[in-house]
Amino acid sequence: MIFDQVKAYAAIAAALALGAVAAVQTVRLHTAQLDAANSRTANARTLAHIADLTTKALLAVRNQETAWATAQERNDRETASQIAAAQADADGARRASDGLRQRIASLVAEARGRAAGAGAAPAVEATGDPIGVLADVLGRADERAGILAAYADKARIAGQSCERDYDALTEPPRPAAGSTH
């Protein structure tokens, strides 16, 4: 009988110990599940924050690309108008030069006519007429100067256009309206 009572008490103690272990394990399981849920929530918040930052960064890049494209389009229009103005100036200078050459040719012809009428000796064939040679040299120099001036104008305009494009691309990006950092 005592042995049966000890067995009963031992069974009760074992059941209580088993219940205590089960309760501790249940608490530990719930704590682990709660920790896992908290970790998933924190990870979800972190991923949402990363997605938000990525969206803002993408928007900033797109805005900067748009600003660059706008600046380059404006620069292209400005360059085209400068080239057109330079070409118009070169055409005007060419017309003025042609008029001056015609005037010089008429003055040379007039001087030759006066020299021939005055009975002057004809110029030596190898050297030609000094006035004609001078007029020819000045005419060719003026023509070359016009070509060089047109080339220099185009090179200057192209260089300035390149500088403006570079400046537009190297400006620090402006923050988008309404963005906070």
102: how many CB neighbours lie within 10 A of its CB? Answer: 10
In the chain, domain spans:
2-170
Q: What is the pLDDT of residue 170?
A: 87
Q: Provide the 8-state DSSP code for 118.
A: T
Give tens-digit pLDDT for 114-151. Answer: 777 766 555 544 456 777 788 888 889 988 999 999 99
- 86/91 Cα distance (integer angstroms): 9
What span, in angstroms and rounded, lies between the C-alpha atoms of 149 and 37? 77
The three-state secondary structure class of 48 is: helix
Render pLDDT for 71-96 as a digit per residue (tens, 0 to 9). Answer: 999 999 999 999 999 999 999 999 99
What's the pTM? 0.59
**158-171 exposure pattern, b = at least 16 Cβ within 10 A, e = fewer:** eeebeebbeebeee
Confidence of residue 2 (pLDDT cuts 50, 70, 90): confident
Residues 107 and 139 sit within 8 Å (Cβ to Cβ): no
pLDDT in tens, 7-49: 888 999 999 999 999 999 999 999 999 999 999 999 999 999 9
Q: Greatest CA span in the chain, whole angstroms?
A: 171
Neighbouring C-beta atoms of residue 8, cutoff 10 Å: 10
